[in-house]
Amino acid sequence: MAKKIKTIPEAELQSYYEDAAKYLLKPWQTRALPNIEPLIIGGKGAYFFDATGKKYLDFVSQLFNVNLGMGNREVIEAVKKQVEQVNYTKNTFLNIPKILLAKRLAEVTKGDLVKAFLSNSGTEAVEAAFKIARIYTGRFKVISFWGAYHGSTFASMSAGGIASNRNPYEPLVPGFFHIPLPYCYRCPFGVEHPSCEIRCAKFLEYTIKQQGPETVAAFIADPVVVAAGAIIPPDEYFPMIREICNKYDVLMILDEVIAGFGRTGKLFAYENWNTVPDLLTLAKGISNACVPLGATVMSSKIGDFFSEKKIFAHGFTYSGHALACAAGLAAINAYIENKIPEHVEKIGKYLLDALEGIKDRHKSVGDIRGLGLIEGIEFVKDKATKEPLMSKDPNAPIEERPMVVLSDGCMEEGLLIMSAFSGSNIRMAPPLIINEDDVDKAMEILERQIDKVEKRFL
Ligand SMILES: Cc1ncc(COP(=O)(O)O)c(C=O)c1O
């Protein structure tokens, strides 16, 4: 690192932790503050630094969003330039970055995705997609995956399928229904690919028919279901889903809040299956997380509908915020000009190979999944029975659960990875700019910590 970071003295740091515990309600709080979560004071590329000067290798891109790495100059300079010109305009007024961003999204999504609604987050991008789908189709039901995450407001959480998120807030929004994940390692239908004939995709058709096609507005899917431990559908899945949606005039929404912008080795994940959705939701990496930004990009038939209808009763104070749009434009250009998807395809294979090696050497590693730089590792007590590696006591404190012990252990050694919402899965999504040395370093720490977890829990 060029600049030496200035650490925070112990007493001052302690007082920050005390104030955080007293004044902050943490998002997704699962354990009391203060805990091992670091106070971050800097970062560069795939590394970040805490207040004590400790350096961490980031294998989650903070929260699946700092995809170009920390301190990316292209995005920072664009935001600095814009802040001196116009940083905010009323949402219905125009500003130049918002027009250019919408046009750029239409260009880079290629094909038939032509018009964008801009917002501030993935949740907002998804909410907008649901409202657009309801108005466009005149139908109200939405079908999605059990196990997926689509955001934390009521509608996006109702589409999400994670019991621990949903249960505290029930009853949720009516009209949301779920189908099982395309989860080959633990097939919900108990069958095997390819003789299964992709029963999980056919189950969408069954569900649409049972609900009554005239009531179903949309199906929404995260192309790689990161929340559930990076579940990657078989190749036939999305083309079949596209056909089913076409057959019943149900809109297909792909939620690429994580998967978009090069993460899967293509600029957009749908390119992996030559399948274009009707609505595409984007956020996170769209602005390299420098300023919050979300986008809901729609096909020409939906865009034309709104051009004719002229009314869309939805929006946020910060829809099309000039700084966010400037960050978005710069980040999108950086992904393309630096050939990030091409790099991800190569380095993703290198990471996947390394993980396969770990799987071969470890009794507890049951499955490895990966596409580009989204990876999932599923841990088991026994590879034959596939019994998940969980605590014996289901009420064990969170810090004593195997996946948390593993991720805490990695953090202690300076590697950020993340356990999945449920099951015995670890997720990894490093910045898209990592190199082979970063992968080797991460795998060394990971393997050492897996050894420790096996000694303790197997
Ligand atoms: C697939 C997907 N959709 C939507 C969201 C919600 O995004 P945000 O947290 O920016 O609201 C997330 C967040 O992780 C996500 O992974």
SS3 for 375-418 is EEEEEEEECCCCEECCCCCCCCCHHHCHHHHHHHHHHHCCEECE
CA 23 to chain centre: 28
pLDDT (mean) for 226-241:
97
Does residue 77 contact residue 435 with C-beta atoms inside 8 Å? no
Report pLDDT for 36. Answer: 65
Cα dihedral 299, 301, 302, 304 in deg (nearest 10): 110
Q: What is the pLDDT of residues 291-306, one digit of tens each?
A: 999 999 999 999 999 9
Measured distance CA(360)–CA(123) in Å, rounded: 38
Residue 186 has pLDDT above 70, yes or no: yes
pLDDT band at 35 (very low <50, low <70, confident <90, very high): low
* Residue with CA closest to ligand 1 atom 2: 150
Measured distance CA(423)–CA(92) in Å, rounded: 44
Please choose from 64, 123, 157 the residue to mutate so as to test ligand 1's pocket, defined by most ligand atoms within 8 A of CB: 123
Report pLDDT for 362. Answer: 98
164-173 burial, b at 16+ Cβ within 10 Å, e below that, comes to ebeeeeeebe
Residue % of the chain over a pLDDT of 70: 98
Q: What is the pLDDT of residues 399-417, one digit of tens each?
A: 889 999 999 999 999 999 9
Between residues 415 and 20, which one has the greater pLDDT? 415
Does residue 272 contact residue 264 with C-beta atoms inside 8 Å? yes
Does residue 135 contact residue 106 with C-beta atoms inside 8 Å? no
Residue 4 has pLDDT above 90, yes or no: no
Residue 238 has pLDDT above 60, yes or no: yes
pLDDT (mean) for 22-49:
86
Report pLDDT for 393. Answer: 85
Q: What is the pLDDT of residues 352-391, one digit of tens each?
A: 999 999 999 999 999 999 999 999 999 999 999 999 999 8
322 ligand 1 Cβ < 6 A:
no
Report pLDDT for 33. Answer: 54
Residue 198, sorted as left (phi over 0), alpha (psi -120 to 50) or beta, turns out to be left
- Crossing angle for the helix pair 237-247 and 199-211, to the nearest 10 degrees: 20
> How far apart are the CA of 3 and the centre of ligand 1, in A?
33
Burial of 195: CB neighbours in 10 Å, binned 0-12, 13-18, 19+: exposed
pLDDT band at 26 (very low <50, low <70, confident <90, very high): confident
> How far apart are the CA of 61 and the centre of ligand 1, in A?
14
Measured distance CA(314)–CA(343) in Å, rounded: 38
151 ligand 1 Cβ < 6 A:
yes
Residue 177 has pLDDT above 80, yes or no: yes
> Mean of the per-residue pLDDT values for the chain?
96
Between residues 111 and 314, which one has the greater pLDDT? 314
409 ligand 1 Cβ < 6 A:
no
222 ligand 1 Cβ < 6 A:
yes
Residue 34 has pLDDT above 80, yes or no: no
Report pLDDT for 31. Answer: 73
150 ligand 1 Cβ < 6 A:
yes
Residue 338 has pLDDT above 90, yes or no: yes
Residue 432 has pLDDT above 60, yes or no: yes
| Out of 34-48, 159-173, 254-268, 273-287, least confident range | 34-48
Report pLDDT for 29. Answer: 83
Give the domain ranges of the chain.
Answer: 10-68+340-457, 73-337
Does residue 426 contact residue 419 with C-beta atoms inside 8 Å? yes
Q: What is the pLDDT of residues 303-332, one digit of tens each?
A: 999 999 889 999 999 999 999 999 999 999
Q: What is the pLDDT of residues 129-145, one digit of tens each?
A: 999 999 999 999 999 99
pLDDT (mean) for 12-41:
85
pLDDT (mean) for 235-255:
98
The candidate with the shortest Cα–Cα distance to 219, out of 250, 260, 188, 184, is 250
Residue 1 has pLDDT above 50, yes or no: no
The CATH classification of domain 10-68+340-457, taken from the options 3.20.20.140, 3.90.1150.10, 3.30.565.10, 3.40.50.9100: 3.90.1150.10
Taking the model in full, what pTM does it have? 0.97
Ligand 1 nearest atom to the CA of residue 226, by list position: 16
Angle at 245 between CA 239 and CA 250, to 5 degrees: 155
Residue 423 has pLDDT above 70, yes or no: yes
Q: Is 298 helix (H, G, I), strand (E, B) or coil?
A: strand
CB atoms within 10 A of CB 315: 15
Residue 173 has pLDDT above 60, yes or no: yes
Number of helical (H) and strand (E) elements in the chain, helices listed first:
14, 16
The string of DSSP codes covering 249-297 is: TPEEEEE-TTTTTTTTSSSSGGGGGT---SEEEE-GGGGTTSS--EEEE
| Out of 28-32, 111-115, 161-165, least confident range | 28-32
Please choose from 62, 157, 158, 257 the residue to mutate so as to test ligand 1's pocket, defined by most ligand atoms within 8 A of CB: 257
| Out of 49-58, 109-118, 347-356, 421-430, least confident range | 421-430
Q: Do domains 10-68+340-457 and 73-337 have the same CATH topology?
A: no
pLDDT (mean) for 185-214:
98
The CA-atom distances, in angstroms, between 410 and each of 195, 206, 370 are 39, 43, 20
- Crossing angle for the helix pair 340-361 and 436-457, to the nearest 10 degrees: 30
Query: Domain 73-337 carries which CATH code?
Result: 3.40.640.10
The candidate with the shortest Cα–Cα distance to 230, out of 368, 340, 352, is 368
Does residue 400 contact residue 19 with C-beta atoms inside 8 Å? no
Report pLDDT for 32. Answer: 64
